[in-house]
Amino acid sequence: MAEDLKGTALLFDLDGTLVDTVEDLAAAMNHALSEAGLAAVPTAEVRHLVGHGARRMLMRGYMVSAGREAEAAELDLAMTRFLDHYQANIAVHSRPFDHAIEMIEGFLARGARAAICTNKREQMARLLIETLGVSPLFDAIVGADTTVAAKPDPAPVRFCLEKTGARRAVFIGDSDTDIRAAKAADLPCFVADFGYGPITLAAEAAGRFSHYREASRLIDSALRT
């Protein structure tokens, strides 16, 4: 079986797909809001704000907490506070989802490659993956600021493909943004039901899964087709 998947790749979204990061992201956002004299946003609310980058998450956080849009200067200061706190506390609670790492290791043992394509800033994505001790698994970590555009633009997805050298690949995500990005790059997308969403475009995905043991079967079939 060794090397039967040579020339293929698994491209992963990060937050809500590969790693459950919501508690640490919520803590960083609420730190920034608290420093501005605003009330915290419940973690359950933050869950649905993840996936479009920290700035948009903070913009929505201001709307939820203050009932208004943040002024430009407020948002800039909130971003600095958010990033400083998050960088110092990036993996207090964040952990890979069950069986995700074992699944990746299984595919790599068969010759496949893996990469991360996220709307997190590349520096933060790298720090998280390194802190979790799994960076050797990935040929590339592509963030929102790595290429000319962020997902759902296909540019970061295509850059991941280039870095892996894959001829055939699948994208694994948890949101409409991932589905759109994969579709624009002509890749099948498998979406995680346990992620942060939304997944209103699930009908356009190649499949859905609720656990990485299910995902393994779906991905294996797609890569060998």
Q: DSSP characters for 53-78? A: -HHHHHHHHHHHHHSSPPPHHHHHHH
Q: Is 211 exposed, middle or buried (0-12, 13-18, 19+ CB in 10 A)?
A: middle
- From residue 21, alpha-carbon distances to 115, 122, 128, 186 in Å are 18, 15, 9, 28
Structural Rg of the chain based on CA atoms: 17
CB 154 within 8 A of CB 184: yes
Give the bridge partners for 171, in sequence order.
Answer: 11, 189
**Cα distance between residue 169 and residue 103, in whole Å:** 15
**What are the residue numbers of the active site?**
13
Distance, in Å, from the CA atom of 47 to the CA atom of 167, rounded to the nearest integer, reads: 34
Q: Is 217 exposed, middle or buried (0-12, 13-18, 19+ CB in 10 A)?
A: exposed
